[in-house]
Amino acid sequence: MWPFIVFFVVYMFTQSQCNLLDLLEERSYLLERELAMMVGSEIKLSDSELKANEIIMKLKNDEIEHGFIYPNQFNLSKHFFEYKDEIKKTKLFQIIQSMPKGAVLHAHDTGLLSPDYVLALTYRKNLWFCWKKGEPNIDFYFSKTTPINPCVTGWELMEEARNASGDIAKFDADLRKHFTIVIDNPNKVYTDVNAVWQKFQQCFINTGNLFDYKPVYEQYYYDTLLEFRKDQVMYLELRSTLSNLYDLDGNVYDAVETAATYKRVTEKFMKDYPDFFGMKLIYAPLKLVDKATVQEYVRILLQVKKLMPEFLVGFDLVGQEDVGVPLREFIDELAEVRENVDLYLHAGETNWYGTTSDENLFDAIALDAKRIGHAFALIKHPLLMEEVKKRQIGLEVNVVSNSVLKLVEDPRNHPLATFLSQNMPVLISSDDPGIWEALPMSHDFYVTFVAVASRHADLKLLKQLALNSLYYSSYPEKHKLVHAFEIRWTKFIDAIVKDKW
């Protein structure tokens, strides 16, 4: 009897162990299959990249592990304004800052440099300003004499007002607030999407005539390229409204001349910095307009395209999507545009489901858009996700923008996590980083890597995201971009391995 009992116990223990091993083996198999689906999974790391990956992943895992144990201390679960400067001190951020990031394919012309830079522009000669009565907003204008533009409160010369203020530091601090949406208590003040968008759009309105002064416009754009290059960006596709410019002599320059200004400054910058691959222009005027206005947009587009066929590469319509006119209202005009340039359309920048906002995604795909801006609501449309993947439509995802503009409070919940897990054609961009005081690309890459992507996502993800920005660009000789990127990437990896941070 005893031998049987012993045999039975041993048998049951062995079976239990076998079942446990089978379960663990199946778990590992499922996990490996899922990781093999992620963005970057097809990249094979070299020996040097593997060493660099160990360093990067140690830093990443330390941050995540600390946040996992102490959730209230995880920076990236807070509002961006609370941690944007704090994370710059970390070694991982500094490594990502030095990483070659490929291209920026979603950025708006006058929202790219910091409020400190904009404030410095107000020290230029011949600048006048006007407080808008009953509103905490401001207007600017460059003129040799008092501007003739209407101003209820009266135009003041900036230099005189600043010197007469009695406290220049306070005067500048108050002025700076008109160039940023960053505040101390964002969750209390920006109670919903409309509230933060109102402040966001007002920043553009406040600086409109400041930037439209032709010498400022040229300098601002040149310095934008300088800042993007400094943040390891190789190439830019810029969305611009092509606003009319002016000078001190009373000359006004139309949209065509504004496009030509971009082209001239780009050529000068590339001459000064031959390692930069330039900029292509996406004409992106406002969408809260009528059909007649869009038809005028098309006229301007065709005129610029005829004069600068290699420089103007695309068209878009921009503005807050929930209050804008649906794309379907302009189907005829957009179909005409499509015959001449590629469409890179904002669509699905919304939390709503089954509304005109998220259903702009259907129009963008039907119109054969080459890339979709934001595509935040795409996660709710499984059929469209399949179409995006099948048609290889680039998704221009702007994580920090979506956070500060109230689409998602915690980036860990951003739909990009799903896009990354399913190897969607994703690229990372930054939208309007200057207005929320972010670096041109480093903040968006860092937040994506640490907060959005899987803890298992490593150097392969970072490399693939940078490469995707090159693959989905309109640059005519992508192989040259990729070759230059690989050289920079190798130097980046060597620096990590040699621990230059």
**Tokens 């094979």 appear where?**
44
Q: If DSSP codes are grouped into helix, strand and coil, which group holds residue 290?
A: coil
Q: Which of 108, 374, 381, 414 is catalytic?
A: 374
Q: Residue 227 class from Cβ within 10 Å (0-12 exposed, 13-18 middle, 19+ buried)? A: middle
**Tokens 């980036």 appear where?**
411
> Considering all CA atoms of the chain, what is the largest pairwise distance in Å, rounded to the nearest integer?
113
Q: Which of 49, 349, 396, 437 is catalytic?
A: 349
Integer angstrom CA distances of residue 12 from 16, 17, 18, 22, 370 = 6, 9, 10, 15, 60
Number of H helices, E strands in the chain: 20, 13
Q: Name which of 489, 372, 493, 406 is nearest 81 in CA terms.
A: 406
Q: Name which of 430, 493, 61 is nearest 231 in CA terms.
A: 430
Q: If DSSP codes are grouped into helix, strand and coil, which group holds residue 385?
A: helix
What's the CA gap between 425 and 238, in Å, rounded?
A: 20
What's the CA gap between 456 and 205, in Å, rounded?
A: 43
Q: If DSSP codes are grouped into helix, strand and coil, which group holds residue 131?
A: strand
Helix (H) / strand (E) element for 236: namely strand 235-240
The pair of structure tokens assigned to 42 is 């097809």
Q: Name which of 359, 345, 360 is nearest 315 in CA terms.
A: 345
What's the CA gap between 247 and 267, in Å, rounded?
A: 22
What's the CA gap between 198 and 211, in Å, rounded?
A: 20
**Backbone angles phi and psi of 235, in degrees to 5:** -160, 150
Angle at 83 between CA 78 and CA 85, to 5 degrees: 170
Q: Is 65 a catalytic residue?
A: no
Mutual angle of helices 291-307 and 255-272, in 10-degree steps: 40
Q: Is 227 a catalytic residue?
A: no
Which residues touch 353 (CB under 8 Å, ≥6 apart)? Answer: 377, 380
Q: If DSSP codes are grouped into helix, strand and coil, which group holds residue 132?
A: coil
Residue pair 361/347 in contact by the 8 Å Cβ criterion: yes
Q: Is the backbone of residue 374 left (phi > 0), alpha (psi -120 to 50) or beta?
A: left
Q: Name which of 166, 17, 40, 21 is nearest 420 in CA terms.
A: 40
Q: Name which of 129, 301, 303 is nearest 209 in CA terms.
A: 129
**Backbone angles phi and psi of 107, in degrees to 5:** -155, 140
Question: Annotated catalytic sites, by residue?
Answer: 349, 374
